């Protein structure tokens, strides 16, 4: 990855190459290695606020507290939209909806055309209960990068999470995500759930089965599959799907939802 980033942009400094390697690693979900790359970037160039901010993000992602690094970075570069948006992401993860909205709103004013920052602002608006504004911000992010399925998927998942206009916003956004990335399990999962919620349980079930065939370790898809089965009164199959979701995400949000649904289902059996 380091060599690849260097080949494409040979003018980068060693610190910038390390930071770029960190971004590539983070895109693959390897936050520990990404953090090591960003730490190297800061070591090479101590006055590198974005690298410090990204290192703070990696620290958060690996179970530490990245806030001190993010605060230092924002003090060093108060007008840097990336740094301010990463600080906003920290507050989002910490559940500080007001703090997240403050930072991400400021970052968006600094760079209103950045779809990632716009999507972050949308998430903050959602956490603050401003659902119509959040939906519009997610839509703006998707329109800023219309060929990127990730932003359409974010809009679809927002609609499903908050049960906000799933019949229009959620379904259309999920369709766009699948059209742009037909073999993407999360997109198929979102489209399956949105389709089922709009009254076509059989098609929703088929789409969720397709998502699970591509990624059998997707706890959210298993949970959604269980909900579709429950709606069809197929309780035994739903119970098995809920157990799988709980096993895959025992301490997470999806696991907790599956555990509660399983408890309700077993109570019904009794």
Residue 181: is its pLDDT beyond 90? yes
Output the six-digit token pair for 226: 């269980």
- Nearest Cα to Cα of residue 118 among 97, 100, 140: 140
pTM: 0.89
Q: Which two tokens stand for residue 242?
A: 């809920």
Model pLDDT for residues 121-175, shown as the tens digit of each residue: 999 999 999 999 999 999 999 999 999 999 999 999 999 999 999 999 999 999 9
- For 56-65, how does the pLDDT look when each residue is reduced to its tens digit (9 = 90+)? 999 999 999 9
**Which residue, 165, 231, 218, is CA-closest to 187?**
218
- Interval 38-51: pLDDT, tens: 999 999 999 999 99
């Amino acid at each position: 990855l380091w060599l690849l980033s260097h080949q494409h942009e040979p003018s980068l400094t060693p610190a910038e190459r390390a930071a770029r390697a960190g971004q590539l690693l983070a895109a693959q979900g390897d936050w520990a290695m990404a953090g090591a790359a960003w730490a190297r970037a800061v070591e090479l160039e101590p006055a590198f606020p974005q690298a410090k901010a990204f290192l703070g993000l990696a620290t958060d992602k690996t179970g530490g507290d990245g806030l001190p690094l993010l605060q230092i970075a924002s003090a060093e570069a108060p007008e840097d939209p990336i740094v301010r948006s990463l600080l906003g992401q920290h507050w989002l993860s910490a559940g500080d909806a007001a703090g997240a909205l403050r930072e991400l709103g400021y970052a968006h004013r600094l760079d209103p055309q950045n779809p990632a920052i716009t999507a972050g602002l949308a998430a903050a608006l959602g956490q603050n209960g401003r659902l119509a504004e959040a939906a519009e911000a997610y839509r703006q992010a998707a329109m800023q990068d219309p060929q990127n399925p990730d932003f359409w998927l974010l809009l679809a998942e927002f609609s499903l999470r908050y049960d906000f206009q799933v019949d229009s916003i959620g379904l259309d956004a999920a369709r766009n995500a699948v059209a742009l990335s037909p073999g993407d399990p999360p997109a198929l999962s979102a489209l399956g759930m949105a389709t089922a919620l709009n009254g076509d349980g059989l098609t929703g079930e088929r789409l969720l089965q397709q998502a699970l065939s591509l990624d059998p370790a997707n706890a959210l898809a298993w949970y959604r599959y269980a909900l579709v089965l429950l709606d069809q009164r197929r309780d035994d199959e739903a119970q098995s799907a809920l157990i799988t979701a709980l096993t895959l995400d025992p301490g997470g949000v999806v696991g907790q939802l599956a555990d509660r649904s399983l408890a309700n289902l077993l109570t019904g059996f009794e």
